[in-house]
Structures are given as structure tokens and as C-alpha cells.
Structure 1
Amino acid sequence: MHCHLDLYSDPKNIVESCKQKGLYALSVTTTPKAWLGTQRLALGYPKIKTALGLHPELAHLRINELDIFDMLFPQSKYIGEIGLDGSNEYKSFYKEQLKVFHHILSRVNRDGGRLMSIHSRKAVLEILSELKRIDGIPILHWFSGSKNELQQAIQQGCWFSVGPAMIKGQNGREVISIIPRDKILTETDGPFGTYNKKSLMPWDVNKLYPFLSGLWNISILEVEKIIEMNFRKIISLL
């Protein structure tokens, strides 16, 4: 699922490799201005879905692009990366983040829902509160909240995208172990997500499969089938 195809150093070759490998991917964007160019990367390959986003870390810098977001909104069934970031580095811009997030969610609600890939670092409860009133399909990307927050998100029907970078730490492994099997999707968050100090490629989701195989006590082939089934299911909900 969630990766930043346009931010790799050689995105065209990355997309071509995705095609050759038959990969499904959600190609998220961090600014509305990036959407058209990112969408063009995947033309003719329907397994790559391009999402329209405005990343919370950039909200205070790109809030003036909301008009562009609104103009492009009817062209995209997929929204991301969006959300809130309450970490020390960005909490001083929380007001701007909320304004952007509220604007996007109200547009999603008004226009019949969208699939949304959501950044929720240090802001899970606020995210969940906002989502209660929204007609959309939320995917919490790289969830890093508490177990109580995770249980609340599960109860609200959220989906989760998880990747190899999450299994480097105990908290990430515990999060993945709690997520229901029918609500889990795989991601790399590449090129930002790393594994063994290297940027993850979209196809590196398979580095997570041995962990899931052991966790669920099934074969890697069965893991692959579950993940693909979940992806097909969530896409069919639109």
C-alpha cells in the first residue's frame, strides 16, 4: 500500500519494476501540486492507485494549496497522505494542521467518502474523534499509538497499513500482533521507510511476510493471499 513513488530518486524505473512484479500500491502524495505528476507515473497500470494528499508536516507551509486540493479532489478516489502530527517538532503548527485536516475531511464527507491513508503520530485520539463523523474508509498508516488507542481504532473500524520498518522495535511488533487479520495491509513508506539502513522499495513488503507467517502460524504463500484479498476488499468498498 502506502509509499511515496514520486519521491524516489528514479521513480519511473521504480514504477516499471512494480509493473513487472505485478505489485499493488497506493502511491501517496505530500502536496496537492505533486498529484498530477505522480498520477502520470502510473498511467496505464491500474494496480497503482495515486492518492491526493497534504502531509501534516507540510500543512503550515502548503495550506495555500487547499484550493488546488479542492480542484483535483473529484479526480481521485484515494486521499493521502493526510492527518495530524503532535510530535515535538510539529506540534507548534497544530492549528494549521487541524485546519487542513478539517477541510479535507469535510470535503470527503460532502462528496460521498474516499479511501484515506492517515498519519497519526502523537495524535491518535484526535484523529479518531474527527473520523467518527466522516463517511470514508480510514487506513492508519504506520500506527505508533498506545494499545488502548489501537483498540479504539479497531472498534471504530479502521484499517491499518504496516511495514518491515515496524518490526524493528517491540512496540511495532506488538501493534501488528493485535491488528485483526482482515484489517491489515502492507506498506513500505518508501523511500522514507528503511530496513537494514536501506530505503525500502515497494516490493520490499515481502520482508514483513516471514514475521506475519510466524505470528499467524501459516505459510508465507497464505500470508500473501490474505494481504492481496484485503487489498482487493478495501478497493471494492469505494
Structure 2
Amino acid sequence: MHLTDTHVHIDHYPNPQKVAEAYERLKIYTLFVTNLPELFEANYSSYQNYKYIRLCLGFHPQLASEFPFDELLFNKLINKTKYIGEVGLDFLNEHNEIKNKQVNIFDYITSPKFNKGRIYTIHSRNSEEQVLEILVQNKVKHAIFHWYSGNLLTLEKILERGYYFSLNPKMLKTKNGLKVIERLPHDRILFETDGPFSRYNKEVIGPTSIEKSYKDFSRIIPYFEKNVYKNFRRILIERDLY
């Protein structure tokens, strides 16, 4: 099988090295997202020799109230990767000062001087329209909306821009998740675990759960594995061409 995981926080597992080795052993193409530039820097040297894992440079919007965004460090690290994430906005229960801070950081991270030839994995809870607006303004070509939970009208607008959606197994368990899945064309779907912040069969999801998760999705999406792998290859080719 050709398996992928386009959004996982390997450094948040109790034993990150063991998890990373499992991804390698199972030959799962993996985007390891980080929540701060400092965490990307801390993990960079340890993950350079992996064949299937790519480290992403991120700043999680929910950390904007706790940590300053280090522009100098971000600028220093940006040329070390073609993958940016987890980044975006999260307006759930946030006051305006923090929302504005998130917007400024996300606008900077996605600016034209950084986004050429890079793939973004996007957090957009309660802020889907604002995220899309910034991506469009900055002419971001390659973005993956991670675990999308917004309305279907905005989903259609996102599709019109050619962006992708990474599907999480938890989406199969909710009405809204199933509605989102039903509306997505098969040429715009990818797969993610968001591990370890998600569960599969009541256990923390990990690389050994991915093949079973694919089979769950294949019950409602024909040729799920084939479509996801084809889409993953396409977004990489699109990135390189751009």
C-alpha cells in the first residue's frame, strides 16, 4: 500500500523516536508539523536522514497568546524546508487582540516572499473565511486544510482555489465530518492522523493505525488509497513546478 499522513505532531508522542521509526518501517510518507519555529529548530537535525518524514516549520495559532512569534528565527529557518505547518487561525473563544495577533502572524508566514514552491498545512477553526482571504491575498498556491470543520459554502470557495483537504478518521464519526467528506471531490482529498491528538478505536492514533483507517474511508470513498496517493504526488509536482 502507498500510505501517507499529511499532518502529525511526532514530537508530542511520549516516544517520538519510536513513532518516527514506525513511519519509516511502514514506508508512510509523512508531514511532521511543528507548533513553533523553536520546535522546528530543535528537531531539525534529528530528522534529516529520514526517507519518508518531512519536517514542517510552524506556528500554531492557539499559541499566539502564550508565545511571541520570532520573525528572525522564522526567516533563518524558512530555507531549510518546503513544508509549512501547522499554521493558520483559530478564533474559537479568542478576544480581538489575540485574533489580530494571529492574523498578523499568519499573513507574514504566508506572504509572497515565503510561499513560492512551499506547501502549507492549515488550521482554520472558526476562521475559515478569514484564512481563505489571507491565502488568496498572498497568492498562496499550495495549501492543505487540515481537519476542516467549517461551513460548506466556504468549502466550495476553497475548492475553487484548488486547495486540498486532509481527512481525519474522526470525521467519519460526526455528522458534520461526513457532510464535509461527501462534498469533497476525490481529486482534492488527502489523509491525516493529527496524532497524538486523535484516537482510533479508543487508543491514541499512530502509524500502525493508518492502514485500518484507510480501509474505513474506502467504505465510503471508492479507491481511497489510490486517490490519496495520486493527490499527494500531484501536490508535490505542483509545488516543484511552481
Length-normalised TM-score, structure 1? 0.91
Considering only aligned residues, what root-mean-square deviation do their CA atoms show, in Å? 1.7
Q: Which structure: greater helix fraction?
A: 1
Once the 2 structures are TM-superposed, how far is the Cα of residue 40 of structure 1 from its aligned partner?
3.1
Once the 2 structures are TM-superposed, how far is the Cα of residue 149 of structure 1 from its aligned partner?
1.3
Change (3 A) 1:98 1:163: same
Partner of 1:38: 43
- Select the residue among 60, 70, 89 that pairs with 2:75: 70
Q: Structure 2 counterpart of 1:103, which letter?
A: Y
CA–CA separation in structure 2 for the residues paired with 1:91 and 1:141: 24
- Select the residue among 192, 216, 221 that pairs with 1:187: 192
After the TM superposition, which segments of 4 or more aligned residues of structure 1 sit over 4 Å from their partners?
A: 89-92
CA–CA separation in structure 2 for the residues paired with 1:116 and 1:83: 9
- Select the residue among 129, 144, 147 that pairs with 1:125: 129
Describe how 1:13-52 pairs up with structure 2 within 5 A.
13-52=18-57
Partner of 1:58: 63
Once the 2 structures are TM-superposed, how far is the Cα of residue 36 of structure 1 from its aligned partner?
2.6
Q: Deviations over 1:46-101 (max 9, x none)?
A: 32111100000012322342221111011110000000001015665101101111
Q: Give the secondary-structure state (helix, strand or coil) at the position aligned to 1:24.
A: strand
Kindly indicate whether the alpha-carbon contact (under 8 Å) linking 2:124 and 2:145 is maintained by their aligned counterparts in 1.
yes
Q: Give the secondary-structure state (helix, strand or coil) at the position aligned to 1:25.
A: strand
Kindly indicate whether the alpha-carbon contact (under 8 Å) linking 1:186 and 1:205 is maintained by their aligned counterparts in 2.
no
Length-normalised TM-score, structure 2? 0.89
Partner of 2:161: 156
Q: Structure 2 counterpart of 1:130, which letter?
A: I
CA–CA separation in structure 2 for the residues paired with 1:143 and 1:237: 22
CA–CA separation in structure 1 for the residues paired with 2:89 and 2:81: 21
Kindly indicate whether the alpha-carbon contact (under 8 Å) linking 1:86 and 1:121 is maintained by their aligned counterparts in 2.
yes
Once the 2 structures are TM-superposed, how far is the Cα of residue 197 of structure 1 from its aligned partner?
3.1
Change (3 A) 1:144 1:91: farther
Once the 2 structures are TM-superposed, how far is the Cα of residue 167 of structure 1 from its aligned partner?
1.3
Partner of 1:166: 171
Q: Structure 2 counterpart of 1:110, which letter?
A: K
Question: Which gives a bigger RCO, structure 1 or 2 (Cα 8 Å, sep 6+)?
Answer: 2
More displaced stretch, 30-39 vs 183-192 = 30-39
Kindly indicate whether the alpha-carbon contact (under 8 Å) linking 1:12 and 1:41 is maintained by their aligned counterparts in 2.
no
More displaced stretch, 32-41 vs 11-20 = 32-41
Q: Structure 1 counterpart of 2:49, which letter?
A: G
Q: Structure 2 counterpart of 1:188, which letter?
A: T
Q: Give the secondary-structure state (helix, strand or coil) at the position aligned to 2:65.
A: helix
- Paired residues in the alignment total 232
